[in-house]
Chain A
């Protein structure tokens, strides 16, 4: 007898496509939050599949901290052109210039926290009623509680204790004026699923994910790239290493791991053998036990 059981990647893909079409049907002005990282790339790719042969009916929105890997920006611009979609950029530098936020100082200064203000301002300025993100529940403990359709009040805040129940595949995107939603189509994917899917579908990803040579310094137990945006103290030792990045965030806080994985099969083997979570190299998550939960409540990604 023929089996009508889908494999798990097909089932996850189908779920994500269903969610993306619900967004299109339920919201007026949705965007995909695009960071250039693999998760937002997979979401963008799924959106292409969901509406083909029509174009992706969403703009991409990038919150630009100014502290980017140059590779990310080039990758973003090439992709926009290829897909023929609109790009909205929210600039953290602009938020700083306008006095909306104050730049952090000190050795571990980063613009990570500042992004929230820029993100919320950009959402408001562009009348965006839904921002689609690549967040996954396996990433972090606060994210494990996140809904597919996650409500944000008029201040952009998340109330984790008062979330709408989500049953079957009935998603409630109703809201009052000024409120918005964050939607996470790949909530149920794990890091491994994402990599397997990238390989299966042949999705192009930034070169930063592959092993390459780079000048780095050791900070907070991880290798931080040398760039114009970090302060190098006299005691810091700049070393040249072969490494790659498991996640992509700002160049100031994204730590590399020593690795010679220069193709997808090697990356997948490395992910399978990894004994630490991918966010374990993110300085933004190590600030405290609840740093993700706290940032999310304020309106972070």
Chain B
């Protein structure tokens, strides 16, 4: 590969969810195999294990199994990350199990994705599982959704069968909050429309799956409007050359910061101007998400981890009462009146779950208001009170400044994730 081309590649993170029979692992196996991302020794290992199990065909699905238990049970338990690249883009796949008891893993995989790949069996149409995966993609505000209508070989590559599923999904998706949905008829098993255009479905005019993954516009997935810079740490070199240097290290989580910009520091309320943006030994005129930089201000102000730099006319919400959609991760439910550590950007505060408004049946999207007993994998709308005000945005506006996790004080486990409403 040309070095220059490699340096122009973009990164696309996508998530898939699926269970044993829907062909998810076969599809990923095929993407990896056809894009030549599978190495001989990995293939040999899969051949050996397929043979040991007495399988006739080499099971491409085994390429994506990681842990010993997963291979023995033939299931994916956790999120596994896969990598492949074409000359245009590098892809990171967060491959997650699809069963309802792994909702938390799906949520985890979806949190960093630009795109969700949803698989629908052409014979069955929209099932509970499809609904579940689509709901999670919408809840986590994944900007792009590709619905692969799979197993087209089993419905004679019929356009009518495809259109029926498209109509059914479109009807269902009206209830969801997704902006960009595309449909592709494929056969993961035979490779139709995965990497190569299908000879069997001339009626389909759109791109193949890989082509779509390579070209979908991801340039506006970050919020470039509302400037947000949560401070991670303060950089003070303490040596002669940089005696007075005081820089704020962090990642730009929203908007474009420019040298000379007016800045408001929260929660203190002090104002100043950006005097320099540093990256290593370079000085930049501007910086955008998700760049990790060091910002220097004109005035010496007391700023520490957890503070946020914004523009004076564009503030985040400042509140101790937060409503969010919560996914519970732990096998023990929330304890009554328990305090949790709430982590939001680089900030940590204590929090109490004050009220559980309703749970969501993620198969039907119905609200459950009579059962408020939170168990692992439940998704619920909750109200939380924090000990100190949070500087946050609605999740719809910014996926980073709008998200939180709850940590159990005694076990230190991450017990829940929340998307601020």
A-facing residues in B32-76 (Cβ within 8 Å): 39-42, 45, 49, 65-69
* A189-203 interface bits toward B, Cβ cutoff 8 Å, 1 = contact, 0 = none: 010110010011000
> Residue B85 at the A interface, CB < 8 A?
yes
Cβ 8 A contact of A141, one of B66, B79, B291, B343? B66
- B107 interface hit (Cβ, 8 Å): yes
Shortest distance between the CB of B180 and any CB in chain A (Å): 16
Complex alpha-carbon distance, A265 and B413, angstroms: 45
Provide the residues of chain A in CB contact with B218, threshold 8 Å: 5
Question: With A25-B305, A167-B108, A196-B6 given, is the CB distance from A8 to B65 under 8 Å?
Answer: no
Task: Check B291 against A6 for contact (C-beta < 8 Å).
Answer: yes
Binding site for B on A (CB under 8 A): 3-15, 17-18, 21-22, 24-25, 48-55, 137-138, 141-142, 144-145, 160-161, 163-170, 172, 174-176, 187-188, 190, 192-193, 196, 199-200, 265, 268, 272, 274-277, 280, 289-290, 293
Query: In the bound complex, do residue A293 and residue B235 qualify as a contact, i.e. CB atoms below 8 Å apart?
Result: no
Question: CA of A4 to CA of B252 in the docked complex: distance in angstroms?
Answer: 12
B414 adjacent to A142 (CB under 8 Å): no
Once the chains are docked, how many angstroms separate the CA of A182 from the CA of B78? 19
- B145 on the A face (CB < 8 A): no
Do the beta carbons of B67 and A142 come within 8 Å of each other? yes
Please give the residue numbers on chain B whose beta carbons come within 8 Å of chain A beta carbons, in ascending order: 1, 3, 6-11, 39-42, 45, 49, 65-69, 77-83, 85, 89-90, 92, 104-105, 107-108, 111-112, 218-219, 222, 224, 232-233, 235-238, 241-242, 245, 249-251, 256, 278-281, 288-292, 305, 329, 341, 343-346, 399-400, 403-405, 407, 412-414, 417
Q: Is the CB of B412 within 8 A of A176?
A: yes
A167 touches B78 (CB 8 A): no
Chain B residues whose CB sits within 8 angstroms of the CB of A188 once the complex forms: 81, 83, 92
B contact residues around A167 at 8 Å (CB): 107-108, 111-112, 403, 405, 414, 417
A275/B39 contact (C-beta < 8 A), A53-B237, A199-B3 known: yes
**B405 to chain A: which residues have CB within 8 Å?**
165, 167, 170, 172
Indicate if the CB atoms of B104 and A7 lie closer than 8 Å: no
* Residues of B with C-beta under 8 A to A169: 112, 251, 400
Pair B66/A145 contact, Cβ less than 8 Å: yes
Q: Which residues of B contact A289 (CB under 8 A)?
A: 45, 49, 68
